[in-house]
Structure 1
Amino acid sequence: MALLEARGITKIFGKLTALNGAELTVAENEFHGLIGPNGSGKSTLMKCVAGAEVPTTGTVTFGGRDITQAPPAERARAGMSLKFQITSVLPTLTLYDNVLLALQAQTSLPSLLFSRTRGVLHDRVMAMLEQFRLVDQAADPASALSHGQQQWLEIAMALAPEPRLLLLDEPTGGMSLEERRVTGELLQPIKKRCSLVIVEHDLDFIRDICDRLTVLDQGSVLDCGSVPHIQSSPKVQEVYLRRA
């Protein structure tokens, strides 16, 4: 059984049909890329999966459960975590406290009121910072980080609750070539414990880390398959040449 299935997803905004019967299937421990020209519906499909938008028609199933109408908080409790393109770290807080807050979001109110969680969660916070090469800056404010490092911090925050599925919307936007390379290295180890759906314009980056790709064009799925299949697909080549 697939971890995530989005079936017949249509999303209409007034007179605009952003998605028209789009489909997405993601297996356990799979890295799945969403690609396509600008305006093809990638981010809208991601938002329908995450609960930021409700499909006009269609269904979203996660772990065998229909979550089409479920709010984002309910999806998070079920094991889904999302990072949008714009960073949402708290710049005046330390890196440590940013990750700690991401973990405390799962904690009961009484435990937070009596400050029981900081010591209990310390090892997990430091492990996440270590994994994303930020542990030496744990006590620094997030505002001191470069753009790329802020992206890594937010991915660490999204992974801290140990989700079953991580959704990333253009995580390498604004990064240098070296930061993009490192980002790929940092993401690879999570495949052992988490599936990934990633929207990305950098085709070289997404090709190097993903198992399968879904290509959208004008709100519909143009093609889906392995990276070699998509690279050799005449339909995909024609769309990218047409939009070049």
Structure 2
Amino acid sequence: MALLETTPILKSFGKLVALDGAAITVGESEFHGLIGPNGSGKSTLMKCLAGAETPSKGRIKFSGVDITDASPAARARAGLSLKFQITSVLPALTLYDNILLALQAKSSLVGLIFSRTRGALHDRVMGMLEQFRLASRAYQPASALSHGQQQWLEIAMALAGEPKLLLLDEPTGGMSLEERRVTGDLLQPIKEKCSLIIVEHDLDFIRDVCDRLTVLDQGNVICSGTVQEVQADPRVQEVYLRRA
């Protein structure tokens, strides 16, 4: 059974058709890239999957359950997490407290009121910071981080709830070449527990990280398959040459 599976999704904004029958299937422990020219519908599809937008037509199943009409909070509880392109870390708080708050989202109100969770979660906080090469800066404000490091912190925060599927919208946007390489290295270990859908314009990064790709153009899926299959598809080559 697929972890995530949709029927063809239609999404319109007035007369503008953003998605015109786009569909995607993602398996467990799969890194799936979502690519296409600007305006092809990638971000709209991600928002439909996350619950930020509701499809005009089409259904979304996650772990065998129809979540088409579920709220973003309900999807998060089911194991779906999203990180948008723009970072949403709390810059005035330390890295430690940013991760702690993300972990405390599952804590009871009583535990939060009496501050029982901070000590209990310490090892997990430091473990996540270590995993993303940020432990040495645990007690510095998030505002002191570079753009790339803030992206890593937010990915760590998105993983705090131990999701089954993480949606990443342009995680390497604005990063240096070295930061992009490191990002790929940091993502690989999570594959044992979490699948990914990644929207990216950096095709070299996508090819190195992903198992499968889905290509969108003008709201339609024109190709889906392994990296090698997609690279060899003449429809994909034509789209990128046309938009070059």
Please state which band the TM-score falls in when normalised by the shorter chain: over 0.9
Alpha-carbon distance in 1 for matches of 2:51, 2:139: 34
- Give the AA of the match of 1:204: D
Alpha-carbon distance in 2 for matches of 1:125, 1:150: 16
Encode CA deviations 1:146-199: one digit per residue, 9 max, x unaligned.
000000000000011111000000010000000000000000111011000000
- Give the AA of the match of 2:170: E
**Is the counterpart of residue 227 in structure 1 residue 194 in structure 2?**
no
Alpha-carbon distance in 1 for matches of 2:7, 2:105: 30
Alpha-carbon distance in 2 for matches of 1:127, 1:29: 21
1:200 Cα shift? 0.3
Map 1:78-227 to 2 at 5 A.
78-227=78-227
- Give the AA of the match of 2:218: Q
Alpha-carbon distance in 1 for matches of 2:211, 2:50: 21
Encode CA deviations 1:28-79: one digit per residue, 9 max, x unaligned.
0000000000000000000000000000000010000000000100000000
Alpha-carbon distance in 1 for matches of 2:161, 2:103: 6
Alpha-carbon distance in 2 for matches of 1:230, 1:99: 37
Partner of 1:68: 68
Q: After the TM superposition, which of the residue ranges 100-109 and 89-98 deviates more from structure 2?
A: 100-109
Q: Tell me the SS of whatever aligns to 1:133.
A: coil
Q: Tell me the SS of whatever aligns to 1:168.
A: strand
Encode CA deviations 1:103-153: one digit per residue, 9 max, x unaligned.
111111111111111111111111100000000000000000000000000
Partner of 1:237: 237
1:228 Cα shift? 0.3
- Give the AA of the match of 2:18: A
Structure 1 unaligned spans of 5+? none
Q: Give the TM-score of the pair, scaled to structure 2.
A: 0.99
The size of the alignment, in residue pairs, is 244
**Is the counterpart of residue 6 in structure 1 residue 15 in structure 2?**
no
Alpha-carbon distance in 2 for matches of 1:115, 1:183: 33
Q: Give the TM-score of the pair, scaled to structure 1.
A: 0.99
Alpha-carbon distance in 2 for matches of 1:7, 1:127: 38
- Give the AA of the match of 1:33: G
Q: Tell me the SS of whatever aligns to 1:102.
A: helix
Q: Tell me the SS of whatever aligns to 1:119.
A: helix
1:7 Cα shift? 1.2
Moved over 6 A (4+): none
Alpha-carbon distance in 1 for matches of 2:238, 2:108: 53
Percent identity of equivalent pairs: 77
